[in-house]
Amino acid sequence: MEEKRNVSLVSSSPDGYNMGIFMISCMVLSWIFIHRWSQRNHKGPKTWPLVGAAIEQLMNYDRMHDWLVNYLSQLRTVVVPMPFTTYTYIAHPANVEHVLKTNFANYPKGETYHSYMEVLLGDGIFNVDGELWRKQRKTASFEFASKNLKDFSTRVFREYGLKLCSILSQASCQNQEVDMQELLMRMTLDSICRVGFGVEIGTLAANLPENSFAQAFDTANIIVTLRFIDPLWKIKRFLNLGSEALLDKSIKIIDDFTYSVIKRRKAEVEEARKNRTNKIKHDILTRFIELSEDPDSNLTDKSLRDVVLNFVIAGRDTTATTLTWAIYMVMTHSNVAEKLYSELKKFEDDQAEEEKVSLVQYDSENLESFNQRATQFAGLLKYDSLGRLYYLHAVITETLRLYPAVPQDPKGILEDDVLPDGTKVKAGGMVTYVPYSMGRMEYNWGPDAASFKPERWLKDGIFQNASPFKFTAFQAGPRICLGKDSAYLQMKMALAILCRFFRFSLIPDHPVQYRMMTILSMEHGLKLQVERRS
């Protein structure tokens, strides 16, 4: 008994305790050393036991897109182990085609993505997989092919392009600086609400008023995006705390507005039928209301709400962000600015002669005549005639190559698979194709990949497309963006008006850098001085 007591005393003594801690520390350090030694020739991100590459990724979070560029330029495929999953980033067209087309069924949006976005997007086309997605896509494809919708969209985009032009001309008179990104966000939100809902929400009015729906939509968009990096969001949602409590309030405002519009629009459709008039509108909501009357459609008011909000979120931030980067690219490349201006001037003269339009003589210092000429020019910009502006199309496409609106797009993995380059991916992980990196890879675009050169898209002055698995700004395969033509229509309409009638210069020392969100917006906006041109 005495011997056992002595053993117990020794083992519980401070020296024994310290020795135990020392031995455990040595084992942990040895484990880390062996792990790091085994990776001495590893070319990917640094990994550590348990946490994987999370440390390096977090250290580079604010510049993650460029962090990936560095690795993908060397490796073409980058595997990033994380604590609970593994991300595989791809930039080679063969791998991208495999994920987006060849083995499409194995790489869905997945339940994780759906759970993050459901509160805002519901079961809309951008947030579902399988039969529900196929059915909505088939319906939406018919709507986007509709001539009525194209004509209506053209009129709406022209109207808001001119509203923005008027605000800029006033700012130039008063020598005011403007935040171009904010103005473009207002323009695209107003536009998509007219095309989507058929309603005027008026955020682009001259005094730039606040709007409860617009504010709530912005807030909800930001918060659901933050869920991708906030591991506590489900707890906050359950307890209704912090950002999740604010999200609930925002969604209520969005839903109140949306459902009131649906109710009013249904009444207008019914009234038009009773009176046998042809005043039924051509916006997306009205078309889906008509489709919902088919008993086989299964479209409820909740379905209509989801349909329209999906088009709003897809058509607002992406278009505004691309236009913001395009203006920045034009103003920082004087040769591009002059080539574009020359094309627009020639187009104006040729189109006016063809349509026998007498152009107003104007002085850029005379605001009234300036606005009259801008309105005249915008009237020449029609769906078909815009197709003749090849250099304008190339400027926008080159912007999208280097600054894609969606810089990364993750996909779930249903079953183990092997990519064309031999990389093995495991079920439950994620594969992310990276448009931002793809546009900067020399193995995709040649030694001048990092340069802004709209000419790379032209052959004998005519625009030439690239493979959608190489130029992935609009995705590719079965999920290729249905709104691609509509997005180009609005971007060409707005950029043609702006670059024909204005010069832009950056406010001195204004920082231009991207914000780490699902959309590649500018962290500090785009602060400019505006000058009218003749």
Report the alpha-carbon distance of residue 477 to residue 103 in Å, rounded.
10
Report the alpha-carbon distance of residue 472 to residue 485 in Å, rounded.
15
The enclosing H or E element of 33 equals helix 14-38
- With H, G, I as helix, E, B as strand and everything else as coil, classify residue 427: coil
Quote the mean pLDDT of the chain: 87
- With H, G, I as helix, E, B as strand and everything else as coil, classify residue 255: helix
pLDDT in tens, 248-297: 999 999 999 999 989 988 888 888 888 876 666 778 888 888 888 887 77
Is 530 in contact with 171 (CB distance < 8 Å)? yes
Residues whose CB falls within 8 Å of the CB of residue 387, separated by 6 or more in sequence, listed in order: 393
Report the alpha-carbon distance of residue 121 to residue 195 in Å, rounded.
18
> Comparing C-alpha atoms, which of 414, 400, 386 is closest to residue 475?
400
Is 181 in contact with 525 (CB distance < 8 Å)? yes
pLDDT of residue 69: 92
Report the alpha-carbon distance of residue 48 to residue 38 in Å, rounded.
11
pLDDT of residue 53: 67
Amino acid identity for residue 337 in this structure: A
pLDDT of residue 4: 45
131, pLDDT greater than 90 = no
pLDDT in tens, 458-491: 999 999 999 999 999 999 999 999 889 999 999 9
pLDDT in tens, 49-87: 655 666 667 777 778 899 899 989 988 898 887 666 788
Helix boundaries (H) for 62-108: 64-75, 93-97
| pTM for this entry | 0.87
pLDDT band with cut points at 50, 70 and 90 for residue 17: low
Residues whose CB falls within 8 Å of the CB of residue 274, separated by 6 or more in sequence, listed in order: none
Report the alpha-carbon distance of residue 194 to residue 144 in Å, rounded.
15
pLDDT in tens, 171-208: 999 999 999 999 999 999 999 989 888 888 889 988 88
pLDDT of residue 511: 95
The distance between the two most distant Cα atoms of the chain, rounded to a whole number of Å, is 115
Report the alpha-carbon distance of residue 38 to residue 284 in Å, rounded.
57
Q: Domains of the chain, with CATH numbers?
A: 117-532 (1.10.630.10)
pLDDT of residue 139: 80
